[in-house]
Chains A and B, each alone.
Chain A
């Protein structure tokens, strides 16, 4: 069976034996390491392990979900202090401390993510910077709790009453690193990880495939903070001494650097980054002055020349040389046809009713008192000159914009102002005027994102690779593969979407929409930027979509396709409907000829 589809690229499958061998060798090496290394290197390795947990955690929110926060050090410190206080002051065991760390960091993440709910970019950076400063002040000034700037001493680390030696500390922390890697692995290799990436890449497209952006941002920050909290509690117990100065802005920058160097939004990236960032200062013992300047320069240079970091670069290279050979051995799938996406015929005859729809931006009325009725199973085109309000109308139908007045009824249900991720679940899929693909995912992942609303496995299931997860993922990817076949891009499955031509990208968006198994498909200028052959191909695909009962609402300027495949046409100008009817009716309508087509009818 096509294991590669959900798991690896074909190159990796080819060499999987080597990779497995590598894992075993590495594990063995890490296990025997304390026996061959001195005290110093063992400690060095422990710190590296802790930072790996920290940066892998940070990467979940910053790298995958794109929430660039600057409070990693504060959260790490809060975790360390929470666990230290639990262990020392409350005299509770280590695991209670770790739990306390997770609770406290979780709460802090909420204070960041609730604003992040609304804002992003520099506001998020500023808020988290504020949080960093506030946490730092609390650690310094709440002396009765944290013992202030003098630092906090912990008793020797013991688990279940057994005091750990340096050796056992190494193994305990290594164990936690393995747990963290497995956790992150399970998470990012599931729809959760892809959803985070989708939120980062394009929030509108993410909402368009049914992702509640806000929920996923909160979850990403929560998961990531709790992981950082675990790292903090390990750090406190390992170090037996913590002080507020450790958890300042400098550490935040280091963590940022680790993720940037290694590659944000990748699983192995942070691990790479930690190693580099830990090793570099070793060269500057003689001239500490230069160390920070080098770090600063790395931040500037790497962000620009190596935006994906080391891991990102390797990944890109691999995708570029991936020969997709495995995809041809997909096995004996039944031949695919559009029949698979057939929509049953119940529900009202008028699948979409828009009445009195109005949208005003300040004093400008973009859309005014618009009524449109779309009949089930038809291709309904929306045409009009540039700036006529077509896209605004479609945005209001799909929930991306909220109407000032009026209502939208879909399939008998009032969906006026409904969030896009909810309307997707009711069967509305759409494509965008300017292509919105998830650029950090492969072609096949992009298509599979369309089917994400059908996943039912839980986060726990994702982390433990439950049978349900495996089954659903396999199904989803086989289906996505089928969709790709329908649009003829199956041999590009493992590529980056950016490597496709403009026309192929448009088709890819349609495949993604198709994968949502919609009742209504909204296409916003599907032919823009396509050549004649591609237009012909596309019109065949649209016809096929219509033939299986999916209603199509299309904005298009390309007159031959509009006239060729539309059942009905609505013409709007200045936000108002000026004509409606079959292509034949509309094309002779004097108002249309005057307002839209001009005096001469263009040929294209």
Chain B
């Protein structure tokens, strides 16, 4: 029997409360400070900075930091310096939700860059919108995240799942593939992707042979490859992340089937060292890119000045891609960078930090925004549509050229051609 227990219980509780209280003391003052310091605008970002999807999370953070540094050096947004608060959610939706609540309640953020993981966005999106925080999703693809009725303050500057799915299916259909197989992992991402692909197939009148799933991060992907082979596939529409995709491609090469098919993946497939991981099969791998990148006449991808300038800045600040240096992809950094500038532009156009005013600007005056470093050149926001990009803006690009160059909007991207 523990005789001193009550005492210790008490002591614990006291300690705990002291700790919590001491924390409280701090917060009670914070809101006042923020209100008074009119010279500050607080932008929040929650994303995975540890764990398997840390690259995405870190890339967005780097992009945002780069933009904020520049903006602050030039006097901030309408004279207010930007303060950037970030939290690591480890890609865990529940942690993400807690972190978002913390940023909103304690840090009093005025704008948030959405989490890269769709599940995390879904978990916290209600709270963000209840509190009238402008939220820009720069990476998350899940369809349901954007809904101007339900989430009036959430905008997306990236290709959502249905847009990508539609583009993938149409490309495959036009190329005349017969045995199309859908491929996705068992995570929320894969489920959403396969659902979007199936919907797009139905809309386009294409009947896929099979939908194959696998477990993300599995050591051995040959069973997946065998399934693909036995389905007699000539085209895979793949909702796979880079590492998994590379593993599957190399497994397909192993069993000697890669030559018989075309691997068409959504944008998550891009990985700077895809060729090294996947081997020669990469020559038959394609992904999607914004139509700006492709020169209509020659099929060559040209990097315009704005994007080239940004790429140079990224290399200058975060280093070249490679082991021991930067491991983040430029387009993700760019999307974080763009989100900040988009917000800056909207606030300045509205002449106010008020969320409703900013929202209205984004919905009505978006054609005036000329920061051309995003996934497309034109953003298509309107009161009914909070998606910046539509299916028309996408083209297939040979993955190899994009990936190995470390310039997703780089100068050597070549539009792929399909051979059957």
Q: Taking the complex as a whole, does A directly touch B, i.e. does some CB pair lie under 8 Å apart?
A: yes
Contact A267 B9 (CB under 8 A): yes
The verdict on A347 contacting chain B, using a C-beta distance below 8 Å, is: no
Name which of B14-22, B274-282, B347-355, B389-397 contacts chain A: B14-22
- Decide: A26 near B14, CB < 8 A? Known: A245-B94, A288-B49: yes
Contact B119 A292 (CB under 8 A): no
Minimum C-beta distance from A404 to chain B (A): 40
Contact B123 A151 (CB under 8 A): yes
Minimum C-beta distance from A423 to chain B (A): 26
Contact B17 A311 (CB under 8 A): no
Name which of B168-176, B185-193, B249-257, B299-307 contacts chain A: B185-193
- Decide: A41 near B24, CB < 8 A? Known: A4-B3, A8-B3, A239-B94: yes
Contact of B28 (CB < 8 Å), options: A38, A262, A445: A38
Name which of A43-51, A498-506, A526-534 contacts chain B: A43-51
Interface residues contributed by chain A, number (CB under 8 Å): 74
Contact A285 B87 (CB under 8 A): yes
Q: Which residue, B3, B4, B5, B10, has most C-beta atoms of chain A within 10 A?
A: B3
Interface string of B224-265 (1 = CB under 8 A from A): 000000000000000000000000000000000000000000
- Decide: A288 near B20, CB < 8 A? Known: A189-B5, A268-B11: no
Contact A151 B2 (CB under 8 A): no
Contact A315 B2 (CB under 8 A): yes
The verdict on A188 contacting chain B, using a C-beta distance below 8 Å, is: yes
- Decide: A8 near B24, CB < 8 A? Known: A149-B191, A271-B13: no
Minimum C-beta distance from A155 to chain B (A): 12
Closest residue of A by beta carbon distance from B8: A268
Tell me the bound Cα distance from A6 to B8 in angstroms.
Answer: 17
Q: Which residues of B contact A22 (CB under 8 A)?
A: 10-11, 14
Tell me the bound Cα distance from A47 to B97 in angstroms.
Answer: 13
Of residues 18 to 45 in A, which have CB atoms within 8 Å of B's CB atoms?
19, 22-23, 25-26, 29-30, 33, 36-41, 43-45
The verdict on A589 contacting chain B, using a C-beta distance below 8 Å, is: no
Q: Which residues of A contact B106 (CB under 8 A)?
A: 38, 40
Q: Which residues of B contact A289 (CB under 8 A)?
A: 49-50
Q: Which residues of A contact B87 (CB under 8 A)?
A: 285
Of residues 86 to 142 in B, which have CB atoms within 8 Å of A's CB atoms?
86-88, 90-95, 97-98, 101-102, 105-106, 118-119, 122-123, 142
Closest residue of B by beta carbon distance from A319: B4
Contact B9 A275 (CB under 8 A): no
Q: Which residues of A contact B6 (CB under 8 A)?
A: 8, 12, 19, 23
The verdict on B73 contacting chain A, using a C-beta distance below 8 Å, is: no
Tell me the bound Cα distance from A38 to B28 in angstroms.
Answer: 7
Q: Which residues of A contact B105 (CB under 8 A)?
A: 38-40, 43
Contact B88 A271 (CB under 8 A): no
The verdict on A242 contacting chain B, using a C-beta distance below 8 Å, is: yes
Contact A267 B2 (CB under 8 A): yes
Tell me the bound Cα distance from A317 to B101 in angstroms.
Answer: 41
Interface residues contributed by chain B, number (CB under 8 Å): 52
Name which of A106-114, A140-148, A551-559 contacts chain B: A140-148
Q: Which residues of A contact B122 (CB under 8 A)?
A: 150-151, 241
The binding surface of chain B is classed by DSSP as helix
The verdict on B367 contacting chain A, using a C-beta distance below 8 Å, is: no
Q: Which residues of B contact A494 (CB under 8 A)?
A: 3
Interface string of A180-216 (1 = CB under 8 A from B): 0100010011000110000000000000000000000
Minimum C-beta distance from B384 to chain A (A): 24
Contact A41 B119 (CB under 8 A): no
Q: Which residues of A contact B189 (CB under 8 A)?
A: 149
Q: Which residues of B contact A39 (CB under 8 A)?
A: 101, 105
Interface string of A221-253 (1 = CB under 8 A from B): 000000000000000000101110110101000
Contact B19 A12 (CB under 8 A): no
Contact of A275 (CB < 8 Å), options: B1, B19, B94, B119: B19
Contact A12 B101 (CB under 8 A): no
Contact A239 B2 (CB under 8 A): no
The verdict on A318 contacting chain B, using a C-beta distance below 8 Å, is: yes
Contact of B9 (CB < 8 Å), options: A181, A242, A250: A181
Contact A148 B8 (CB under 8 A): no
Contact of B1 (CB < 8 Å), options: A15, A48, A282, A441: A441
Contact B1 A445 (CB under 8 A): yes
- Decide: A241 near B93, CB < 8 A? Known: A22-B10, A26-B10, A189-B2: yes
Q: Which residues of A contact B102 (CB under 8 A)?
A: 40, 43
Minimum C-beta distance from B83 to chain A (A): 14
Contact B187 A275 (CB under 8 A): no
Contact B123 A271 (CB under 8 A): no
The verdict on A7 contacting chain B, using a C-beta distance below 8 Å, is: yes
Minimum C-beta distance from A372 to chain B (A): 38
Q: Which residues of B contact A48 (CB under 8 A)?
A: 16, 20
Interface string of A139-171 (1 = CB under 8 A from B): 011010000111100000000000000000000
The verdict on A463 contacting chain B, using a C-beta distance below 8 Å, is: no
Interface string of A3-19 (1 = CB under 8 A from B): 01011110110010001
Q: Which residues of B contact A9 (CB under 8 A)?
A: 3-4
The verdict on B207 contacting chain A, using a C-beta distance below 8 Å, is: no
- Decide: A250 near B1, CB < 8 A? Known: A12-B6, A268-B9, A292-B50: no
Minimum C-beta distance from A96 to chain B (A): 23
Closest residue of B by beta carbon distance from A272: B12
Contact A266 B24 (CB under 8 A): no
Contact A246 B101 (CB under 8 A): no
Contact A150 B192 (CB under 8 A): yes
The verdict on A442 contacting chain B, using a C-beta distance below 8 Å, is: yes
Q: Which residues of B contact A92 (CB under 8 A)?
A: none
The verdict on A314 contacting chain B, using a C-beta distance below 8 Å, is: yes
Q: Which residues of B contact A26 (CB under 8 A)?
A: 10, 13-14, 17
Contact B7 A266 (CB under 8 A): no
Minimum C-beta distance from A520 to chain B (A): 28
Closest residue of A by beta carbon distance from B86: A285
Tell me the bound Cα distance from A246 to B12 in angstroms.
Answer: 27
Q: Which residue, A22, A48, A149, has most C-beta atoms of chain B within 10 A?
A: A149
Contact of A241 (CB < 8 Å), options: B13, B49, B94: B94
Closest residue of B by beta carbon distance from A4: B3
Minimum C-beta distance from A371 to chain B (A): 43
Tell me the bound Cα distance from A194 to B3 in angstroms.
Answer: 12
The verdict on A591 contacting chain B, using a C-beta distance below 8 Å, is: no
Tell me the bound Cα distance from A227 to B90 in angstroms.
Answer: 27
Minimum C-beta distance from A141 to chain B (A): 6
Closest residue of B by beta carbon distance from A240: B126
Contacts A9-B3, A12-B4, A243-B92 known; 11 new A-B pairs at CB < 8 A? A37-B24, A150-B122, A188-B2, A193-B1, A268-B9, A274-B16, A275-B15, A279-B19, A288-B49, A288-B50, A291-B88
A-B contact pairs, 14 of them (CB 8 A): A8-B3, A9-B4, A19-B6, A37-B24, A43-B105, A140-B186, A151-B188, A243-B94, A266-B2, A267-B5, A272-B12, A288-B88, A291-B88, A442-B1
For the complex of A and B, list the 5 residue pairs with the smallest distance between their C-beta atoms, beginning with the closest. Answer: A288-B88, A40-B105, A149-B188, A150-B188, A268-B8
